[in-house]
Amino acid sequence: MLFLDICLEHENGIDIGTEIRKKNYGKELRITYISTYQEYAMKLFRIHPFDFLVKPIREEELFRVIGELRELLKERKKIFEYTDTKGIHKISYDKILYFYSLGKRVHIVTSEKEYEYRGKLKDVADVTEEYFLLIHKSYLINMEHVEHYEYDNVVMKDKTRLSISKANRKKVRERLLQTEKKRL
């Protein structure tokens, strides 16, 4: 996060922000521009500012911007990372429908493609437990991609039917109800 005044003594903050983006960070760097003059706000659209604050800056406005950035960073953390013989790969949680294990391989199912790597499903479950649910020793589901729930299985949005182990049925029902309440 960078707070950048537009009117600097010898330079223009908009030009500085544009150069910083070109050289280093692209759109990943969140720049909040600051100025006494609101008319600058319209000139900023082409360079995608995170926000624009008018001087004098009120404390609640500053805290609002920082709070929004925190929320954005939380969202960015929702990335699953795995390594295979070709290197390190990253997949956004929201693209993953479910994981399943077969032997010593973990398969990652998305709506477009299936990936696999050598690993343990339990390890995946440990790092994704807030967003994914282990419904069986072989299946870890993204609760956001459940189409509907039945007593002993779930149907995913890709129409795949996955079995829920007897030991996990109560936990699955409770977590899916919690997820549904959040959506409402």
Query: Is 136 exposed, middle or buried, given 0-12, 13-18 or 19+ CB atoms closer than 10 A?
Result: buried
Residue 46's pLDDT band, with cuts at 50, 70 and 90, is confident
Average of per-residue pLDDT values in the chain: 90
Predicted local distance difference test score (pLDDT) of residue 76:
64
* Other Cβ atoms within 10 Å of 142 Cβ, number: 22
Torsion angle defined by CA atoms of residues 175, 176, 181 and 184, in that order, rounded to the nearest 10 degrees: 150
Predicted local distance difference test score (pLDDT) of residue 105:
98
Question: Higher-confidence residue: 143 or 27?
Answer: 143
Predicted local distance difference test score (pLDDT) of residue 25:
61
DSSP 57: P
Task: Collect all residues with Cβ–Cβ distance below 8 Å to 2 and sequence separation of at least 6.
Answer: 17, 20, 29, 30, 31, 32
Predicted local distance difference test score (pLDDT) of residue 24:
65
Minimum mean pLDDT among 22-31, 87-96, 139-148: which range?
A: 22-31
Predicted local distance difference test score (pLDDT) of residue 57:
95
Predicted local distance difference test score (pLDDT) of residue 44:
85
Predicted local distance difference test score (pLDDT) of residue 30:
87
Looking at the predicted structure, is the pLDDT value of residue 111 above 70? yes
Predicted local distance difference test score (pLDDT) of residue 77:
64
Separation CA 55–CA 184 (nearest Å): 39
Q: Quick: pLDDT tens for 159-170.
A: 999 999 999 999
- Structural domains in the chain plus CATH codes: 2-76 (3.40.50.2300), 80-183 (2.40.50.1020)
